[in-house]
Structure 1
């Protein structure tokens, strides 16, 4: 059972006790991601995450590293478009130590000029690495197009120009705006005593002060530029076909997930079977229904050699037209729903997955959703729901993004 508590500083604490475990997963989720950044701030959320391990007012970078190793579990951080998370997976006996370490990294960071400059160089290398990853490039190109002029168009890493323009003061200003207890969530799942956990959390995070909760800026899918291309000397064309999707709390989100799974979400899906298994045109093809607070996108991704591009696009569009015309069969629906239910149940055996899901939903939507509620909604999805959503999503013309060698000539 999920329990909620609000610390004295206004920070929500989400708890789910699983007494049969000998471990715990902790996460602190902050509403600071690329969706919150201006052009000048691009990459700051990710930069701040990197600097969290460079020392605090109480611990040097080496002491943080040694304490992580002493705990013996996994302490790390990650930045997404919507949030930054700091998390630990540890044994139950080290729960208080991990809480204190994460709290110190969150509340008392120290930005030394020498560390700042080194990490600036590290992030520039990370940006260069992304530029050498064609799959990342095509999705960045796609998001620049479908969210043109909006905050979801930005990459998580930022640009070389934006990173080089940053200063420790800029990091502090951004951090002070978003790193506040009302704009964060502490989520814990595993073996612990709830009252003891509340005491420890209060001791670790209670001194953290700040103002109110900050709302996500609104974004919407735009199809103003139906073809987006980027020339790059690579062997394969990286291809995305993207349609307007659903926002993250939409009533049809489970039907949308079912359609995505059926269309290109696994080895038995339509596109995988048709384009890879029957035609042998690709090695990699999948679909993804990505949901944000106010919008979403449904995207089919494929990679193929240039001479196969036209045929791959034809087949994707043919299969989309067949779904619109004839819908999904009962057999496909039954197989997909069984796959989704099993995958969800298996994921809920992970304390980390339960912790992350609980924290992200609370941070993003200020809601508490029990896994049983999610499973019940999955069971209520009908074939009619899935076919209705599939037709709604696939009816508009897709926005196409492509990266490849002399790519523009393939679309003339």
Structure 2
């Protein structure tokens, strides 16, 4: 696999390409180091609404033209917003890469934000919010995020709510674009059959000249709190989550924390799955995951169980986690290591996974982190280090969010 090439253009745009031999396709994306954690509380949902609104039309293209131009060449165009990143991405034949670059640049820099479109798209987001609220195993994670980071941007919903969406104006969308989508705050990445010089030429032509130098947006300080949220609606299964403060991207313990989390609840062979589901039958779904941010992280456990079994499932989950932190075995660590490495390398075999990795690496670390470097870090984690990372995360009381009519945790 070749090494990526990285350039900074005259307008400040960072351009990175990763040529993957033997392919006739390419994935291209613009990654912005922005998301819901940079919003003001009263405008919660702005980053996500911005992502929606750019697809409603630009100064050069209608919403219909955006869809038709991409699908006329058999390509796929989409976007997503998280708490700290927003990405606009396309997958298409390599010969159509010029269209992909031009179209994505037009979306992020030329959206027109018509008043009527804003009204309609707010209704669409409200429907998305309603769908999330009607999906307990989805919305429970928003509740956990709020319980763990109360009254903080990191704890607020990416979608916003009815009141905050109603407040967002066209000027707010334009301000968000000016503050977060100037070329010098974006990274354009492409992977697959791509020529770096040609990508830079396309980017220079498609993106505007450098804008003013507004201060870089800064998220608020993160403070974990063992909060509680219980939604006592009547549903067939109780949704149980618990979360603990975890290492962020730059914390030396992050790799050990990841392997501990995978060993505890990362798959069918994990301790949680084997003991909670297979041996005791207390849950249909049970898993653990780790979400790192630049300056913080959250390890979480989720289980879906019969409300009558909620207390037993909750107690067993806590027992299993603490036992893993004390008695994690070498074979379990090796299995978790294999999962982490295989997941990484398998994803890199396709243009989409490679472009995602390249963009995330540049945004998080400011440089391309070779996969071999990441694999070496994972390989270096010892049993003692994984146990210590687990014990450190579990040393404080967890935040909890639960949905269902069952007895809540003390």
The residue number in structure 1 matching 2:100 is 98
Instruction: State the Cα deviation string for residues 82-121 of structure 1 (Å, max 9, x = none).
Output: 1211101111100111111111111110111221111111
Counterpart among 207, 216, 220 of residue 209 in structure 2: 207
**Which residue, out of 184, 188, 191, partners 1:189?**
191
- The match for 1:41 is 43
The answer to whether the 8 Å contact 2:118/2:170 transfers is yes
**Aligned residue number for residue 145 of structure 1:** 147
Q: Distance in 2 between matches of 1:48 and 1:148?
A: 24
Q: Which runs of 5+ in 2 are unaligned?
A: none
For residues 159 and 91 of structure 1, the distance between their equivalents in structure 2, rounded to whole angstroms, comes to 39
Aligned length: 408
In the aligned structure 2, how far is the partner of 1:137 from the partner of 1:183? 31
Partners of 1:253 and 1:215 in 2: how far apart? 25
Task: Report SS of the residue matched to 2:84.
Answer: coil
Which of 156, 175, 178 aligns to 2:177? It is 175
Q: Secondary structure at the match of 2:95?
A: helix
Q: Is the 8 A contact 2:109 2:177 kept in 1?
A: no
CA contact (8 A) 1:8 1:206 kept: no
CA displacement, residues 199-224 of structure 1 (integer Å, 9 cap, x when unaligned): 11111114353425725424334235
Alignment correspondent of 1:368: 368
The answer on 1:254 being equivalent to 2:255 is yes
Distance 2:206 2:355 in 1: 19
Q: Counterpart of 2:7? A: 5
Distance 1:286 1:196 in 2: 44
Structure 2: distance between partners of 1:208 and 1:38 = 25
Corresponding position of 1:119: 121
**Worse-superposed segment, 12-21 or 93-102:** 12-21
Question: 1:306 and 2:307 equivalent?
Answer: yes
Partner of 1:8, secondary structure, is coil
In the alignment, which residue of structure 2 is the partner of 1:287? 288
Match of 2:82 in 1: 80
Gaps of 5+ in 1: none
- SS of the aligned residue for 2:43 comes to coil
Query: How many Å apart are 1:411 and its aligned residue?
Result: 4.2
Question: 1:209-248 deviations in whole A, cap 9, x for unaligned?
Answer: 34257254243342353x3212222121111111110111
Say whether the 8 Å CA contact 1:151–1:219 is kept in structure 2. Answer: no
Distance in 2 separating the partners of 1:324 and 1:15:
41
Alignment of 1:16-35 (within 5 A): 16-35=18-37
Q: Which moved more, 1:331-340 or 1:256-265?
A: 331-340
Q: Residues of 1 paired with 2:368 and 2:409: CA distance? A: 47
Partner of 2:111: 109
Q: Give the Cα separation in 2 of the matches to 1:216 and 1:271.
A: 37
Give the corresponding residue for 1:155. Answer: 157
State the SS of the aligned residue for 1:78.
strand
Taking structure 1 as the reference length, the TM-score comes to: 0.95
SS in 1 for 2:268: coil
Deviations, residues 270-310 of structure 1 (Å, cap 9, x unaligned) = 00000111111111111011111111111111111111011
Aligned equivalents of 1:216, 1:133: Cα separation in 2: 32
Distance 1:183 1:12 in 2: 8
State the alpha-carbon separation in 2 of the partners of residues 395 and 45 from structure 1: 34
Taking only aligned residues, the RMSD between alpha carbons, in angstroms, comes to 1.6
Cα separation, 1, equivalents of 2:141 and 2:98 = 40
Match of 1:232 in 2: 233
- Deviation digits for residues 341-372 of structure 1, max 9, x if unmatched? 22222111121111112112322332321222
Q: Give the secondary-structure state (helix, strand or coil) at the position aligned to 1:52.
A: helix
